[in-house]
Amino acid sequence: MTRRIRIGGAQMGAISRSDSKKEIVDRLIALLRQAGEKGCELVVFPELALSTFFPRWYAERDGMDGYFEDGMPNAATLPLFEEARRLGIGFSLGYAELVREDGRVRRFNTTVLVERNGEIVGKYRKIHLPGHAEYEPERSHQHLEKRYFEVGNTGFQVWDAFGGRVGMAICNDRRWVETYRVMGLQDVELILIGYNTPVADSLSGESETLRMFHNHLTMQAGAYQNSTWVVGVAKAGVEDGHRLMGGSVIVAPTGEIVAQAMTEGDELIVADCDLDRCRYYKSHIFNFAAHRRPEFYQRITSQTGVE
């Protein structure tokens, strides 16, 4: 019996500052129901799926707390959890997490993994926070994740879920090879990634085409080099004048894109993912035990920057 799982990538269109939490959750439920009609067992939602991408604006460090969730599930998201359990569909959901831990208030860019019975079986807090922590006037828009979030403290974990080995990452994490390899070394077979990525970049001057190339390149490479499925799901569209890229994809362990979004709106992409497709690659070309030579890789963990 192959371990085949039908996965839905639930790309979202823009969320404006003026959208209510109920309007947003209703959109997530609509995507979940679409996925149910197509027989999906797992739905992947984007990063920060419950709010606009607020790190584009400057405020006091606690000035964006209105966009954070004080628990998961909470009153706003319980309808989503209940509908998912009713449909027997698991999901991953990205959100801004406000939590009291170690006697202090802490803020993380978080994703939870929810199994088909409605139980939260995994939590990941974003480790690679891009951008800057202070206001930078030369930018056309700010990117203040380092201001509003702490570096995640969960590490890159892999859970036994959905009949396989499942891991998570968030947005900028997908650009760093270490993200995939740390999970690859835990035998990951499916990595779920949500992202909110601006189309324009006032500093780099990169074209929209080049930025989409980088978006897919990083996830295709990560999938192939670690023999794992990768599902990358965008929050896209124009949020209060700021455009985020679409391009959500489902990538096979071969590195091939098997499903891709065509719009920058709410759009479900679906693929049947055979988790056993990973096994050949893990036991041949990317058989880590047989071929890796960590004695020559020390710099990767001993150095942060270039020396």
Residues between 161 and 200 with contacts to ligand ING, criterion CB under 6 A: 171-172, 175, 195-198
Q: Give the binding-site size for ligand ING (rule: CB under 6 A).
A: 9
Task: Decide if residue 124 touches ligand ING (CB under 6 A).
Answer: no
| C-beta closer to ligand ING: residue 164 or 237 | 237
Q: Catalytic: 40? A: no
Give the separation between CA 307 and CA 302, rounded to whole angstroms: 11
Beta bridge partners of 164: 161
In SS3 terms, 53-120 reads as CHHHCCCCCCCCHHHCECCCCCCCCHHHHHHHHHHCCEEEEEEEEEEEECCEEEEEEEEEEECCCCCE
**Least separation, in Å, of the C-beta of 201 and ligand ING?**
6
List the interface residues with ligand ING, window 45-84 (CB under 6 A).
none
In the complex, least distance from residue 296 CB atom to ligand ING, rounded to whole angstroms: 29
Q: Is 125 one of the binding residues for ligand ING (CB under 6 A)?
A: no
Closest to ligand ING by CB, 118 or 130: 130
| Shortest Å, Cβ 115 to ligand ING | 26
Catalytic hit among 69, 83, 97, 126:
126
218 is an interface residue for ligand ING by CB under 6 A: no
Burial 153-192 (b: 16+ CB within 10 A, else e): eeebbbbebbebbbbbbbbbbbbeeebbbbbbeebbbbbb
Q: What's the chain's Rg over C-alpha atoms?
A: 19
Q: Which is nearer to ligand ING, 110 or 172 (CB)?
A: 172
Strands 249-251 and 242-244: unpaired
Distance CA 292, CA 49 (A): 37
User: Would you state the structure tokens that stand for residue 36, as one six-digit string?
Assistant: 């149910």
Residue 171 is among the residues annotated as catalytic for this protein: yes
Catalytic positions: 47, 126, 171
User: Which residues in this chain contact ligand ING in the complex, by CB under 6 A?
Assistant: 130, 171-172, 175, 195-198, 201
